[in-house]
Chain A
């Protein structure tokens, strides 16, 4: 089993190296213009020489901060609304159609209204990221709350657990796996909308970094930025998955 896993990892490394090497080879072959299609090494080295490390770190930090703010807001509101509308029937009946009307509207389509409501500063960016996280968390958490195995609820009732205690001690824990799924999807979407959010009159962040590089035709920085955003997404998603496994993995096969 372990040998098989090691074998798999080795094969994966071979595949990754092969693709990067092929990319490098094509870029250096002279068949393509390296200014438009730079080799990965050239892109990374070029970007690191043109951008001071402090500036890169600053871009990563400000983008992550925006994502964390928007995501935290979206997750908190999404979970709260899911609990309220999933548990209190009347409230759910009232709110569900409203959610169903708003949910299919892509987060980015809110950008113009975000600018009108919140101006060109930070809040409008955070709002767009918030929308990216909010709906997936809401949908998954709602499914979790309404999909609790009825036999667990009946079991709790035979133990005299009802009302708010039933919600807190049975329904919420039972919904946790779905909530966790929503958090991961929401986190991914927060990253997905980041660049667009940072198109709104930003002068900082990774999205700004690559859009700005386009103005100067600096493809090296663009490629570097794309890889950087991807790496940040991958690393944080991996961290989130690890946290979730730590948190739920003992009793729930993730």
Chain B
């Protein structure tokens, strides 16, 4: 088993290729860009976490990959094809669960399944499977406001998975949850991810969360936003929060982030 180490480039060919991405919100260029000349390759089925303090552009970068925000310059390619807009193949989970409040948990998941073209019957079956995968089979008929925060976020993950995306983009999905629920959700996510393998790009504020989940951590800095350091974590999952090797990496990351 290898120790955590800094790396230069991922070994596998890129699933997501981000090259030279710059984003400015002011045309006058008075302020430093939100992102300046970011290059990042992400391999297939890799779990990559973007971490940094507010204003480092990590959410903007995620939104650019999602196709929700356009880069000022530079390109993002998925499987070699440039991203031109949001859509299939890229599921997204938001910090606020973003479930449709007028649909039940099941209908929310079916909404995702149908939007990739499944007929109602197949969508129903898919929703059944996903509800059981996230352990909420008994809650399919509940509306989002009848679910706890953790349950809502699990349904949101299931809805994203119902698109059968190859890429799962997660924007601080557990940021609004309490610490205990958050730890449960991290374990839950790993379990789900291991049964439905995806390329994951995960944005977080939490160093511990990044250490527990990621194959690779991208530490970002602000003004201008960009990559400060990368760390690969070759430790098997589930990982222990008490692992000394993670503690060492925690220190290093903290050096970059503070």
Contacts and interface: CB of A to CB of B under 8 A. Distances in A.
A158 B66 contact: yes
A157 B100 contact: no
A72 interface: no
- State which size class the interface on A falls in: 20 to 34
B102 A158 contact: no
B143 interface: yes
A29 B159 CA distance: 72
Nearest to A157: B86
Contacts, number: 64
Nearest to A172: B102
Contact of B86 (A154, A176, A251, A253): A154
B101 A170 contact: no
B182 interface: no
Given A174-B102, A251-B144, A151 B96 contact: yes
A250 interface: yes
B69 to A, nearest CB: 10
Nearest to B87: A160
Interface in A234-254: 248, 250-253
B114 to A, nearest CB: 9
Given A154-B86, A155-B92, A173-B102, A160 B115 contact: yes
Contact of A252 (B68, B102, B115): B102
B90 interface: yes
A84 interface: no
Contacts of A108: none
B98 interface: yes
B52 interface: no
Interface in A207-254: 248, 250-253
Contacts of A169: 111
Contacts of B100: 152, 155, 170, 173-174
A155 B102 CA distance: 14
Given A160-B88, A251-B102, A155 B94 contact: yes
A157 B85 CA distance: 9
Given A155-B92, A157-B68, A158-B92, A251 B145 contact: yes
Contact of A154 (B87, B94, B112, B144): B94
9 A-B pairs with the lowest CB-CB distances in the bound complex, closest first: A155-B98, A251-B143, A158-B92, A157-B86, A159-B115, A160-B87, A173-B102, A151-B98, A158-B86
